[in-house]
Each structure stands twice: as structure tokens, then as C-alpha cells.
Structure 1
Amino acid sequence: MTDTRILSARTDTSTESLTPGEAFTLPAGADAAGQRVDRFLAAGIGTLSRSRVKALIEAGQVLRDGTPVADPSEPVRAGATYRVEVPPAAPAKPQAQDIPLTILFEDRHLIVLDKPAGLVVHPAPGNQDGTLVNALLAHAGDDLAGIGGEKRPGIVHRLDKDTSGVMVVAKTERAHQALSATFASREALERSYLALAWGVPSPSSSEVEAPIGRHPTDRKRMAVVTRNGKDALTRYGTERAWGTACALLRCRLATGRTHQIRVHLAHIGHPIVGDPVYLKRVPGSAKALPAPARDALLSFPRQALHAESLGFPHPVTGETLRFTAPLPQDFKDLLALLDGDAG
């Protein structure tokens, strides 16, 4: 049986969680007259995005006094009663696959995990399965309430395939909206990465503020650009250095552009060890290392970049959450080799 809730347009539904298969009835008061109906309904329900309400209107799932609402931009009529029917979430197109995950935290709203290097986040051409989304579909199962009408996890941010570390994923549409807003505004958001870079930056702590956009000739790469780029700011500090050869940097993101840390560090002449895209030649600083360490760094099969910590407010309770993930073994082995050769 469909569960129907009667809401006022001003009802605070922040403590409620929307379950697909429910119906909501919202009476429109005089103060709502003239508003766009999709905006009015999204605000009144509180757990559906405006784009989701628009899709429901276009699918004939929204009624005004029993008559289907045809246009999401239609003005609200005072005194009318609106009914929003949310069908059960459709099965996700990606298939669930039993891929081991390291879960740092989970509740009914979100999952925080330590993503291993080598795991693609989302299915795409060339990587149709074996992704984090496939793994999450298997792990979360029926706990996924549906994002955009589809029973799938809500990817809020991404880590490159070969970058390891902390990620948060939404399990409900409401959590997805709130987390997406947090990442977009960057308020109360903390992201810290560890990167092993060639050379030692001077000064040892500073920031790189340079716009990032598509490379003008190689569209698969990003680059610091002078036109049509997006503002990007990365702050870094040197944690350790091995002579003049390389340094372990802690990077904090003030923005979240594609490949931001990799692009910014390469831009200032300190590309990340193992970066297959932005490290184009053997750095001169490699000569300062003993052969075993030099060979290990030059043959490292991925960018030595790790999302060490992530802090954000819980999308429902507002509680401040902060999670850390230890360096993966291959990264630790690389640092141990550097320490051994330095000793």
C-alpha cells in the first residue's frame, strides 16, 4: 500500500526520510500563489531535488486537485491541493558485483570508505564493470533508497582510478543533495591529501592559485590555462624531504577541479611520482637518489597520491564528521625504501 503524507508547504520535513513508493499531499496556501510548482513542491517535501520533482511532473506523477500537472514552471494556485506520487526506485543499470570494500563509516544516509588504488569510481566506456558503483550496489543492496528514481549510490565526488583514500557516497536522495551542496560551496569541507613529488618546493609551504581547464591540444588532459579555466586553489606543506630529490607534501584543496593537485604540482615543477599523465620526462632530481630508490620511484606504476582525510557535516544531523585512511602498502613501501637509502 502506498504511504501518503499530508504536508503543509511550510512543514519542516528535515527529520523525515523519503521512501520511494510514497505519496505526498501538499495544500497550497495564499502565500504560495504564483511560485513555480516544481520549486514549491521541492521545498514543501524537503527530500526531493527540484530536478527530481520536475521529472516526476513530466512523468505524470504530480496532480493538482486530481488533474495532472503538465508544466514544471506552472504557477501554484492558492487553495489547490497537490499530490506527488514517488514510484519505487528502478533497478540500477550497473550490476551489483561482490568487490571487497573497506568501510570507515556507514549509516542509513551515507557510506564513507577507503578507496583502493586501481578501482574506477563509476562505469564508463572501457570500464563498464568492476567499479566502485558496482561494489556499492552489492554492499548496500536494499538500503539504497534511490537517487533520481534509480536504485543507485549517489556519487558526490570522485577520486582518480589510481588515487587511493577517503570517499563519501550518499545512500539517499536527500543525503546526495546536501552533500553535493557542501562540496559545491566548500564551506565546512576539509580535504587533505598526501603526495610524493619530485624535487623539494621552495618555499616549503605555500599555495598554488591557477585556473584549470582542458589542455588546448590534448583534450584528455587538464592544464593551467589563461582562458576558459575554472578558479583553482591548492595549499601545500612539506612534511618530509629526501635531500633535493623528492618530498612528501600535504595538500589541502580549497577547490575541487579535475586532477587539481596533479596539475598544480606539475605546474610549479614538482610533478607527482608515478603520474602517467603529467610526468612527461625523468626529473633531474632523480639523479640525487641511490639507484634502488631511483629505480623504485621511476617504476612506480601509479601517481603517488592519497586522499588521507575528509571532514564534512553530516547531511542530516549536521554533526561534524572527519575520517582518515592510512597510506596504502605500496606507498608506505616506497617511503620505507627512501628512508632505508637515506640511512
Structure 2
Amino acid sequence: GATDVETLQAGNWITTTVEIVDDHTVRLITEEPFAGLFSRLRSTIIVSADDLADNAEAIKSQPNGTGPFRLVENDPTRKVMEANPDYWQGAPQIQTLTWEFIQDADTRLSALLAGQADVIDRVPPQHLDIIGADSNFVLSSTTGIESVNLWAAPGRLPIWDESPEFREAVMRSIDREALVTGLVQGASAVATSFLPTNTLYHTNGEPAYTRDVEAAQALLAEASAADGGPEFELWVASGFLPRSEEVGAAIVANMEEVGLHPQLVVTDVAAMIDDIFSETGTGALYHLSWSSDGDPFNHAFVYSETFAWYFGDERLQELIELSATTLDPTEREQAVADLQAHMWEQLWQVPLYNSDFTMAHSAAIQGLDVRPNFMTQFYTVSISE
């Protein structure tokens, strides 16, 4: 491997040996079959060993790539790129591409409307109607390969760990359709699996777990929690996911209607991460997301024993591993279907929705390719007069 340092992303790979065949060819040998290899390679940075030999840190400030644009200015909040005339598919039509980091969404909107920006990304739901009503601009949207869940921390709420009925009661208490249509909006979609809709071999789970107050209350009774069970904390991170505070408040209201006793905790991402991994953490459910590149294993492994969300479900671990090591497409499709069915039945976490990914741009911009893996292709862009 390239490093002996253990990293989180190592869990998304199978141990691989690289052999140099000639100046333009390498051979990759995995310890066991790895169906997601090509998907992983697509998002893996590959650099020259010579570039790293003298100063491995230099790659951070002097990147060396083969893409359609060359980095010519590299300020912390501003990146200027120029067309690469030697790009293997031919030079892009845009000569200069400038990226500026503007954290505040209202400021990004103002820059677009004033003509100071040609494109803005991650348009929040409150700006969709404003931009959509102006014929000078275009909204380009897709449903992201991102699962927004209520992530349950093992050991924090014993009834969650022990009672499938309690977990299903929580699931049936939430009006997920209302979250999507009323709050998150755009191209977001109700989760129908623990794998996002645009994931390879995605299948819809059955039952649909639509909101059903009576069914939720009956399930609580089966879980010996007719009184709603114990109080628990539901954490949301302000400013992280679109309308996170409003989403959290709506979920809490839904839960309270069926008799559950959630306490909403509004914080920031750093404090949430600290609470998740702290031995003295108090949160039970966390409103967070996980995105991937469309390969089922690359998304499912967040639920594996590698991560903090694993409840010791050995069958789940086995199915996740099968999704990685099964090479025959038909057999792999069945393995991934079995994985999704098992996760949908167990409900160790609460799948809410798949994220919206919307870019807004001037109507003069043609060919912008907005992709569900949250990448945007500018190589295909042209600008009309």
C-alpha cells in the first residue's frame, strides 16, 4: 500500500498490491475479489512517485494532475484554473475557471443575481423559487447519492438496541414525505432503501414505512413501551444540512404525536462529532449524511463494523462483505438485494431522504453537467452570447 498509516478510507478498499509492468502499465492484485475496484480507482488520487519523493507535502500546494484545467492560482478561498491545451480529449471551451469560496448562502445568491458569479453550488431550498422565477438563470438539479439518516449510537438507548418493534415505531412516526416536499425540496427524495436511489442495484424496500400513528403506537405497546419509552436526545447540526433545525423540529413533533419522548439538541458539527465518539456522549440519534460514488459497497460499508454505527449484526457484516467480493453481476445484484432487504428489516438506523444537489447558473451557461456524486463537470461547458 501507499501508506502504513491506518485511515478511515482503508475500510473502503480491499488490500491491494501494485506491480509496475512498464512505463504506462500497472497490475493491481487484490487479496480477494473486489467488485468495487474500478469505482474506487475513479475517485482515488494517483500521483507520480517522483513528485512525492523529495517533498510529499508539496502536493498540497502544487498539485500535479492530468485534467482539462490547470491550477494557476491557489489561494485558500480562491482557485484560478486555465484550460489545459494538452488535455487528452482536447482543450475545454472555457479558457479561465475561477472558484471562490463563499460560505454564506445569501451572499452566494446575491453574487449570482448581480452577475458577479456565473454559477453557484449547493442552492438551499429557500432560494429555489427566487432563482426559478428569473428567466436569466437556470437550476440544474439531481438527487444526490447521499443518505440523510437519523444515525443511532449503539449503547446510548438500550431499548433501541434490543427492540425491533421500538425501532420500527420510530420509523413509522416520521412523515418523511413532508420533510422532502415541505422542507428539503429540490430533487431530494424519500429514502426507499439504505442505499440511495442512484446507487447500482438499488431496490425499494418493503414495506414503505409511511407515517402511521396508530401502527407506531401499536408497535410501542409490543415493545413494552406503551408510555413512549425513555427520553432520548436527537441531535442536529445547525448550518450543516439544509434546514436541519426545521427538519429536526418537525421530526420531534412527529415523534411526540405518537407518544415518544425526544429532546432536540441543536449544536454545530464539531460538537456533534465529539459527542458521537465520546465515552460520555449523551446523544441517541444524530441527523447526519453519508455520500458515495454509486457503488453499493462504497455506500454500505459505513454501516459495517469499521464504523461507530455498528450494532454487532454479524449477518449485516457478512452481506456487506459479499457486496464487495461478489464479481458475477447477477450474483452481486442478488447479494446487494439481500443486503438492502436485511437492513430495511432491521432498521438499525432511520433512513430519511436522499439529498438534493442543485446548482444555479446564468442562462448563458450551456452544458453544465451536475452529477449525483456531487461532482460538476465543467469540461463540457460553453458560454453563449
TM-score under structure 2 normalisation? Answer: 0.23
In our comparison, the structure showing a higher alpha carbon Rg is: 1
TM-score under structure 1 normalisation? Answer: 0.25
* Relative contact order higher in (CA < 8 Å, ≥ 6 apart): 2
